[in-house]
Amino acid sequence: MEPSGVVWSDFSFVAASGYRERVLNALSRKPKFPKDVARETTLRITHVSRALREMGGRGLVECLNPEAKARGRIYGVTEAGASLLGYFDRSNRRFVPASARGTPYLGFVPKIRGSSVLRFLAALRESKGHEALEGAIRSWSIDPRQLGEDSWISVDSCAELLELVESRFGDGSYSFIRALFAAAGPSFPTIQGELARRMPLTALAERAPVVYAKEWNFGRLEVETGPRRAVFRHFDWMPTPAMCAVFHGIYEGILRWRGIDGQVRKTGCVRAGDSCCEYHVTW
């Protein structure tokens, strides 16, 4: 059974931030102090407090002793929050295995290759300058100086980076993220290697799942090709607005790099109730 419109709206809200889902899951078994949530999820207390405040405003969690001082307040899920958690557990639309929900992701951590993040940061530095870049990511939970070409970072950390950049330079539409990845995407080492082979665009599109598997350790990409078109379908991944903008931009950037006058349209989205996020590319 598909969830109601309210649950889908809540799903979109929580899925738009890895922090929110982790905090909500941490409260699934019993009410807790923010410091306990931070310890269980390995999130900073400031991120936990922000997630609690945001989900409290949404009616998904509530403070059970509002008269207490901040450090002594206990938070638990509301009826709406419990309904959403139940949907997460029944759903195959999220990348986190059901067995890992409510835990600090022991055994499986969705990750992205560090080289791709470095290329994105380089594109941002070129676009906005070094000082602007440093200011935007100053509060990022990862020290970018520790990132290497062969390192991997968690998807939550990548999502955090994208939100920091969008909040600093974007307008809330994520078009800035999309444009940056259109510029940076062709420079990702795995994509660059495929582009260097100069194969026909249809053959290049059919190689996309191989490239995806080298860049991400979770999710599934399926490709359907036809005359001067390709459809890319993303399953079991992190369908936040920023992540959706990432792939929209990458597909546009590849067309641009090849000098092809084409179009990329997003024709399906998990947040809208579809089974996958779908991008239709024509040229």
Contacts of 126 (CB under 8 A, 6+ apart): none
| pLDDT reported for residue 257 | 95
Check whether 225 has a pLDDT greater than 80.
Answer: yes
Check whether 197 has a pLDDT greater than 90.
Answer: no
Q: At 268, give phi and psi (nearest 5°).
A: -165, 150
Distance separating alpha carbons of residues 243 and 190, to the nearest angstrom: 18
Contact (Cβ atoms closer than 8 angstroms) between residue 60 and residue 84:
yes
| pLDDT reported for residue 129 | 95
- What percentage of the chain exceeds 90 in pLDDT? 44
Distance separating alpha carbons of residues 236 and 176, to the nearest angstrom: 25
In whole angstroms, how far apart are CA 78 and each of 3, 9, 56, 71, 93?
17, 16, 9, 20, 22
Distance separating alpha carbons of residues 163 and 15, to the nearest angstrom: 13
Pinpoint the residues of the chain covered by CATH 1.10.10.10: 5-100
| Average pLDDT across the chain, whole number | 85
Which DSSP symbol is given to 99?
Answer: G
Distance separating alpha carbons of residues 133 and 157, to the nearest angstrom: 16
Q: Domain spanning 111-282: which superfamily? A: H-NOX domain (3.90.1520.10)
| pLDDT reported for residue 13 | 74
Check whether 247 has a pLDDT greater than 50.
Answer: yes
Distance separating alpha carbons of residues 183 and 81, to the nearest angstrom: 39
Tokens describing residue 75: 């938070």
Nearest to 191, CA basis, from 281, 258, 238: 258
Q: Tell me: the pLDDT tens digits for 11-64?
A: 767 766 667 888 998 998 899 999 999 888 877 788 888 889 989 998 999 999
Q: Tell me: the pLDDT tens digits for 146-186?
A: 888 888 888 878 888 898 898 889 888 899 999 999 999 99
Domain boundaries 5-100, corresponding CATH code? 1.10.10.10
Check whether 191 has a pLDDT greater than 50.
Answer: yes
Contact (Cβ atoms closer than 8 angstroms) between residue 250 and residue 116:
no
Pinpoint the residues of the chain covered by CATH 3.90.1520.10: 111-282
